Amino acid sequence: MSSIYEMDYNVGSRDFAAAGDASRSIKRTLQQIGVDTSVVRRIAIASYEAEMNIAIHSKGGKMHLAVNSDKVVVATEDFGPGIENVDLAMTEGWSTATDEIREMGFGAGMGLPNMKKCSDEFSIESSVPEGTRIKMIFKL
């Protein structure tokens, strides 16, 4: 039997009360499965950044978690508006966040770069206006 655990999470646009729930739940799941604490930490940070990006920059979307004995995959998908220039978006410090968002402590432009840094494999595809997909792989 191939052991794989999968779970989907919805992430609402601008739903700041619920934003963070998906990554919190991902972290809890991985802790209960017994994934190494330092890997859990990396996944928690990357998932949180991904989740906040969907909540802040997109029209809402989904996160998908898949765990098997040698890797954890966190994938996201949103309903647009997509990212015009992905290379630019991946640059440290680059952000289109509004002043209000910055006021809330987001918008440092470090989310995507940190997601890449935390994961062992990172891929991003985006098209305007369809949306953005991200896949992060963490080796166990």
Ligand X SMILES: Nc1ncnc2c1ncn2[C@@H]1O[C@H](COP(=O)(O)OP(=O)(O)O)[C@@H](O)[C@H]1O
Q: Which spans of this chain sit near other proteins (rule: CB under 8 A)?
A: 1, 3-5, 7, 20, 23-24, 29, 31-35, 37-38, 40-41, 44-45, 48-49, 67-69, 105-106, 114, 140
- With CB under 6 A as the rule, give the number of residues binding ligand X: 21
The H or E element containing residue 74 is: strand 71-78
42: nearest Cα among 122, 117, 123, 131: 117
Give the DSSP per-residue string, 33-49. HT--HHHHHHHHHHHHH
Shortest Cβ 109–Mg ion spacing (Å): 7
Residues 6+ apart with CB under 8 A from 67: 4, 5, 6, 29, 30, 33, 35, 73
Residue 83 makes contact with ligand X by CB under 6 A: yes
Report what 137 binds from other proteins, Mg ion, ligand X, none; CB cut-off 5-8 Å by kind: none
Q: Give the footprint of ligand X on residues 14-73 (CB under 6 A).
A: 49, 53-54, 57-58
Residue 65 or 89 with smaller CB distance to ligand X: 89
Nearest-angstrom CA–CA distance, 103 and 124: 27
Q: How many CB atoms lie within 10 A of CB 23?
A: 24
Residue 53 makes contact with Mg ion by CB under 5 A: yes
Binding residues for Mg ion, per CB under 5 A?
Answer: 53, 111
Which residues would be at the binding site for ligand X (CB under 6 A)?
Answer: 49, 53-54, 57-58, 78, 83, 89, 94-97, 106-113, 132
